Amino acid sequence: MKEDNFWAKITRFWKKLRRYPVIPIAILFVVVFFAIFANLISPYSPEEIALTERLTPPFFMSGGSTSHFLGTDALGRDVLSRIIFGARVSLSVSLVVIAICSAIGTILGMIAGYLGGGFDNFLMRFTDAALAFPALLIALLLGAVFGPSFYTVVLSLSVLGWAPYARMIRGEIIKLREEDFVAQARIIGSSSARILVKHIFPNIINTLVVLMTMSVGLVILIEASLSFLGVGIPPPTPSWGSMVSDGRNLFARAWWISLFPSLAIGFVVLSGNLLGDWIRDRMDPRLRQL
Amino acid sequence: MVRFIIIRLLQALITLIVISMVVFALARASGDPVMLMAPPMATLDDLQAIREYLGLNKSLPEQYWTFLKNSTHGDFGTSIHNRQPVSKVIGERLPNTITLGLSAILLGISVSLFLGVTAAVKYGTWLDSGVKLIAILGQALPSFWLAIVAIAIFSVWLGWLPTSGTGGPDHYVLPVLTLSFFMLPIMTRLIRSSMLEVLDSEYVKLARIKGLSEKIVVWKHALRNAIIPLLTAAGITFGTIVTGAVVIETVFAWPGIGRLMAESVVQRDFPVVQALVLLVAIVVLMVNLLVDIMYAYVDPRIRY
């Protein structure tokens, strides 16, 4: 009887839990934890070279040991430590880029949607062009101009990244500005700035959160591609993309060098996308594409 | 219609001029090209001579005008890396990218049409879930890694296909497959949702009531209308193919303009990068222009 109760409780709890994206949240939580406490968790320094231990396989293969859990690369650097520190790069790039893009995109989209007319037309032509242009190409162009660095990566991902925000927010504002509560605010004499910030902005927060979550995966993927091509975060700083690139010619002999970082990219991007989908369905089902 | 096309053409032209200005400004911001070209023992007079030779002593608007004039003649200057005209370097590589890209687009469209339509017709079954899973995984896994794994399996372990470079038709298999995978997830999702909407419509019901076979209903009546919204996605698809070409050509050592771009960036060969960005910008603008015109033509409800 008592056991029955216990199991019933467990199943009920599990059913409740299943409505939330538990696994994606857990994965993202672990990655954020890695990124913050990288110096405390990682068993080795990510840049420490140990030529005598180069190409050690991971612990579950013959020749591997638990001292290098996921093996070492061609310079004897610990793959696990590099993945843990790589989380820092991926997350900091995506946080900064998304903060910049959403801020610029929201401000431009709000002004364009509210004012309409010439400025709106001009901005939307600009947005169309920015949306059509491949982001990687701009990033490569800026990489060639300024040389690879953290700031170049952030800059080149932000140059076009504001466009989807501006487009989406503008559409929302055009719908909202015809609402009665906006008219009422205007009647009691609120200024345009006050109406935008106090009355309209709270209504677009949902859309904004959805867009921001959905773009985490995309930003991480482009950053990884840039690092893979050698114009991302410069070595020796470990980035998942450049780790995959380091191991690509050794794949037949030492697959672990590029497999584990690509799994890290895959899992994080997948978690970001799934979480984004879930938040979208929750907060703004209109954006759903079935 | 003619007025619409003319307005769009003018808009595209203005966008192109803005892009060329940005590229020109960035080229000047990238450092003094004279320092890159001059020998280390050059005197100040030598530097001045090179500067005059390159036209760098003139004012910026004048320099921009020369740049614009030369570009329209197809003269993009000389590659810093191998001292050949940029137009020649690009011209040698362009056909390789066009064949690779076109085959990947054709393959990608046919596979995603098949997958998307199947998923929509079998809505809610395990087939639908399977296609959704492929789309979700395909959006998350880094494509460069997929290419590496494909090389490891099919070229290194099984030895069926060459690892890299160009040659016979077997050289095409892996690059085309992996490149088409770039556009697969997004296209499949779009086709599926557009198909689901159309399958729910009245005329599809009518076609079924008429007693037409399910095959004709789906592939003829429904698909024709489901494709219209996809036209707008064509521009974005082209963008992903360009991005994909840079990555895939690098992995497979494919001598196309994608790898040329990546190499030139690493070597900081700015004239080549600049010309390639302009070239892609022109093609992107043209693709979008064509899409807009086709959209207005295919769907008479849209008139500007």
Asked if residue A31 belongs to a domain, the reply is: no
Q: What is the pLDDT of residue A125?
A: 78
One-letter amino acid identity for B121? Answer: V
Asked if residue A95 belongs to a domain, the reply is: yes
- Cα–Cα distance for residue pair A71/A65, rounded to 1 Å: 8
Q: Is pLDDT of A268 > 80?
A: yes
Asked if residue A262 belongs to a domain, the reply is: yes
List the pLDDT tens digit at each of the 304 positions of chain B: 777 788 878 888 888 888 888 877 777 766 666 666 666 677 777 777 777 766 666 677 777 787 777 777 777 777 777 777 878 888 888 888 888 888 888 898 888 888 888 888 887 788 888 888 888 888 777 778 788 877 777 777 776 777 666 767 777 778 888 888 888 888 888 888 888 887 777 887 787 788 777 777 778 777 777 777 777 777 777 777 888 888 888 888 888 888 888 888 777 777 788 888 888 888 888 888 888 777 777 766 655 4
For residue A248, what pLDDT band results from cuts at 50, 70 and 90? Answer: confident
Residue of B nearest to A126 (CA): B15
Task: Residue A117: give the domain boundaries.
Answer: 70-288
Whether B277 sits inside 8 A of A137 (CB atoms) is: yes
**CATH domain B92-269 topology:** MetI-like fold (1.10.3720)
Helix (H, G, I), strand (E, B) or coil at A135: helix
Burial of residue A18 (CB within 10 Å: 0-12, 13-18, 19+) is exposed
Question: What is the percent of chain A where pLDDT is above 70?
Answer: 88
CB-nearest to B265 from A133, A143, A248 is: A143
Q: What is the pLDDT of residue A99?
A: 93
Asked if residue A49 belongs to a domain, the reply is: no
B102-134 tens-digit pLDDT? 888 889 888 888 888 888 888 778 888 888 888
Whether B144 sits inside 8 A of A244 (CB atoms) is: yes
Asked if residue A4 belongs to a domain, the reply is: no
Whether A133 sits inside 8 A of B281 (CB atoms) is: yes
> What kind and span of H or E run contains A174?
helix A150-176
- Cα–Cα distance for residue pair A182/A198, rounded to 1 Å: 10
Residue A13 sits at the vertex; the CA angle it makes with A8 and A19, to the nearest 5 degrees, is: 135
Q: Is pLDDT of A205 > 80?
A: yes
Q: Which two tokens stand for residue A226?
A: 């840039």
Whether A228 sits inside 8 A of B268 (CB atoms) is: no
Residue of A nearest to B249 (CA): A229
Nearest chain B Cα distance for residue A269, angstroms: 5
Asked if residue A118 belongs to a domain, the reply is: yes
Q: Which two tokens stand for residue A286?
A: 């209109």
Q: What is the pLDDT of residue A96?
A: 93
Q: What is the pLDDT of residue A290?
A: 42
Question: What is the percent of chain A where pLDDT is above 90?
Answer: 4
Angle of the A256-283 helix axis to the A79-115 helix axis, nearest 10: 30
A147 in Cβ contact with A168 (< 8 Å): no
Q: Is pLDDT of A16 > 80?
A: no
A178-193 tens-digit pLDDT? 888 888 888 888 888 8
> What kind and span of H or E run contains A153?
helix A150-176
Q: Is pLDDT of A255 > 80?
A: no
Contacts 24+ apart (CB under 8 A), B218-222: B218/B117, B218/B121, B219/B117, B222/B195, B222/B198
Residue of A nearest to B244 (CA): A136
Whether B142 sits inside 8 A of A241 (CB atoms) is: yes
Q: Is pLDDT of A103 > 90?
A: yes
One-letter amino acid identity for B239? Answer: G
β-sheet bridge partners, residue B256: none
Q: What is the pLDDT of residue B55?
A: 65
A241 in Cβ contact with A225 (< 8 Å): yes
Give the rounded distance of the alpha carbon of A138 from its chain centre: 19
Asked if residue A208 belongs to a domain, the reply is: yes
